[in-house]
Structure 1
Amino acid sequence: MSDDRSERLRQRRKESQERVQEESSSKTAEPAEVDKPSKPSKPSEPDNQDESSDGDDSSVKDEQVGTYMYLPKTQKKELERLYNVLKAEYEYEYDEEFEKNRAFYPLVVKYGLESLDDLDASEIRERLDSL
């Protein structure tokens, strides 16, 4: 099953790269088309559609909003460590993928927000000082 998924991801990357190459070559060859917005083509549907899909085949980029953060190296390292530990435990227990962008990051934000929700200004200051 994971081989099918990795093959689909490889195919999507290849199609995306081909699209980018086509767009860049058409922009250099025909500068008049630069102003026209182009519709990206959808990746082809996988042949095997009888798999149970809970949104697994759709792109996270289509479902969620990209958010970019700058973290200290130590926090980034801790985030990666925690993800790897939770991923291993979850996948061992449930035999299904635990995706970073689809599952882990939303969990971190949701429960991080809940832990900060009732703090007053002095408690926020204390937490900032402890970073």
Structure 2
Amino acid sequence: MSDDRSERLRQRRKQSHERAQDVSESKTDEPAETDKSSKLSKPDKQSEPSEPSEPDETDVDDGSVKEEQVGTYMYLPKSQKKDLERLYNILKAEYEYEYDEEFEKNRAFYPLVVKYGLESLEGLDASEIRERLDSL
């Protein structure tokens, strides 16, 4: 099973690399502008994950999570980390069984946890925040 996943990853990287080469080859008609645009496009590429953009049909799910999203690191108590891992494993098994497609931790699970966690905290006043902190 991990061989299939690694093969899919290799294929995605290869396709991404080929697309990047096709784009750079198509810009070789105007070398002076290519140099300027490639220098300018690198910062734009780095800022793209935080700005919504219209994805190409060929780009859907082909890029790495690191290219599409912003890395965020946090420290959790061991018990919460264990609960997070347990929930991920349960949801992953259910989702993959039902839809026969991969449920990725960084691409799918963590964004779900944050989105619905944020929604549950939205609108709390200070005393409600204190109550939730005391219950940790």
* Shorter-chain TM-score range: 0.5 to 0.7
Find out whether 1:125 has 2:130 as its counterpart: yes
What are structure 2's unaligned runs of at least 5 residues? 17-56
Higher RCO (Cα < 8 Å, 6 or more apart): 2
- 1:2-58 deviation per Cα after TM superposition (whole angstroms, max 9, x unaligned): 74431243x59xxxxxxxxxxxxxxxxxxxxxxxxxxxxxx4328xxxxx9673321
Identical-pair percentage = 83
RMSD, aligned α-carbons: 2.5
What are structure 1's unaligned runs of at least 5 residues? 13-42, 47-51
Aligned to 1:113: 118
Name segments (4+ residues, structure 1) moved above 6 Å: none
Which secondary structure does the structure 1 equivalent of 2:83 belong to?
Answer: helix
TM-score, normalised by the number of residues in structure 1: 0.64
- What is the aligned residue count? 95
Find out whether 1:78 has 2:83 as its counterpart: yes
Structure 1 position 96, deviation (Å): 0.5
CA distance, structure 1, for counterparts of residue 124 and residue 7 of structure 2: 46
TM-score, normalised by the number of residues in structure 2: 0.62
Higher helix proportion, which one? 2
